Amino acid sequence: MNNKKLVALLITITLLLSSFTLIHADSPFIDIENNWAKDSIISVNQKGLMKGTSDNKFSPGNPVNKYSVLVTIAKMMDAEKIADLDDLVEKSKADLDKFKVPEYAKRETAFSLERGIILSDFDLESMSDKPNATKLDICVYLGRAFGVQQDATLPVQLFFRDTESIPRAYRGHVNHMIEIDVVDGKGDANGDFKPNDLVTRAMFAKMIDEASNAYKKQDGWNNDDIDDGLIDDDDYVDDLFDDFDEFDNDSTETVFTKGIIDSVIYKRNDKPKILLETEGKSIKEFYVPEDLIKENIILNGQLSDVYSLRPGMFVEVKAQNKIVRNIATVEFIRNINEKAIIRSIDFLNAEITVDIMDEAEQIVKEKKVYLQNANLVDISSVETILLDDLKRGQTVIIYGVEDETGIKAVTVIAQ
């Protein structure tokens, strides 16, 4: 009887071990069994695109850094086969040394510079300042790798609630990623894209798995096209906004324009370019000479330089033939009388974040509202209420003044 029990126990243990072996047979990492991106992680590992952070761990929750993204994209493009990477490293040695590119990524970074996946010293500098990759970073790098082009007669339409937070120069890249299933065109549960969110290694595995599949299927692709430089962001932006251009290149008329900087584009061996959303909601493009003297670039009352220009700045531009002669930040103030939906409430600082429909652009914009000195009124009782009485998802009417920092409410009527 005891022998039979022993045999039964041994058989049970053997079956359990066999089951464990089957479960883990296809998984090279012990930390991905319950991860939503397990299949993609295994796939990109088998394709040779991504490795683990150790012999048996992938660290799916860790943020992916930009250099690792470039290394992976270069592998996707078969960089070893289509280019002499050592020669490219020697060609870009000055930049690689200047920005202290890590040894493991030098060859792929040199390849990325050559092929236009990263376009300038500005990109390399951002690798040090902000080493981890955002969702927009990856969409832009992959878009350039795919040779994204834009038909000027077909403006890009994205349907995220936060589309305005995606610079227009890169919406074509994001749109292409939607088309090849790298990102979801519906956004997250709230309908947001969140371009500045950091991407984890698991998320990137999913993105690059889909991208690599699409890359292999890309029609008409050949290495000669890559050598000729499929992507030129300057040409892309020029084509995209030709319809908005009201300036005659042969004219010497001086133009004064106010607006919000939508994008700043830096490119090696060329003048930086800014795309300006004017008060009339049109897009203008201007080139900024790198040697423009500081006296002609005034940001927040201080002498500055071209590399201090940032998206979101409200500026006044003086230009001739699209070339900026003076640029300065100016005070942006407008009266507000808007219906909004409360998205979040900061009780400690007396602030709320709301969604407001921009009727001109037909998109929802997220705004911060400061309530420190505001009167809060309930519309049904016409009585004063407290901040604690406000609720997420509640509709309110906001009266106040908006500047670059947000809306300073005078009265908020809760419905």
Instruction: Mark whether 222 and 255 lie in a shared domain.
Output: no
pLDDT of amino acid 20: 43
DSSP string, 6-38: HHHHHHHHHHHHHHHHHHHTT-S-TT-TT-TTH
Closest to 207 in 3D by CA, of 273, 135, 151:
135
Q: What is the CATH number of the domain that holds 259?
A: 2.40.50.140
Instruction: Mark whether 288 and 390 lie in a shared domain.
Output: no
Instruction: Mark whether 176 and 302 lie in a shared domain.
Output: no
Instruction: Mark whether 194 and 104 lie in a shared domain.
Output: yes
pLDDT of amino acid 266: 72
Instruction: Mark whether 402 and 352 lie in a shared domain.
Output: yes
- Tens of pLDDT, residue by residue over 374-384, are 899 988 888 88
List, in order, residues 6 or more apart from 397 with CB less than 8 Å away. 337, 338, 339, 340, 379, 412, 413, 415
Domain boundary among 169, 199, 234: 234
The rounded distance, in Å, linking the Cα atoms of 337 and 140 is 37
The rounded distance, in Å, linking the Cα atoms of 73 and 226 is 14
pLDDT of amino acid 396: 92
- Tens of pLDDT, residue by residue over 103-119, are 999 999 999 998 889 87
Closest to 317 in 3D by CA, of 329, 327, 305:
327
Give residue for tokens 């309110």. 396
Instruction: Mark whether 152 and 179 lie in a shared domain.
Output: yes
Task: Look at residue 276 and tell me whether its pLDDT is greater than 70.
Answer: yes
CB of 141 closer than 8 Å to CB of 176? no
Domain boundary among 295, 329, 363: 329
Alpha helices in 25-116 (DSSP H): 38-46, 66-76, 79-82, 85-91, 93-98, 106-115
Task: Look at residue 2 and tell me whether its pLDDT is greater than 50.
Answer: yes
Asked, for residue 263, whether it belongs to a domain, the answer is yes
pLDDT of amino acid 10: 57
Asked, for residue 125, whether it belongs to a domain, the answer is yes
Instruction: Mark whether 257 and 388 lie in a shared domain.
Output: no
Could you list the residue range(s) of the whole structural domain that residue 304 is in? 241-329
Instruction: Mark whether 222 and 75 lie in a shared domain.
Output: yes
Instruction: Mark whether 394 and 273 lie in a shared domain.
Output: no
Instruction: Mark whether 73 and 196 lie in a shared domain.
Output: yes
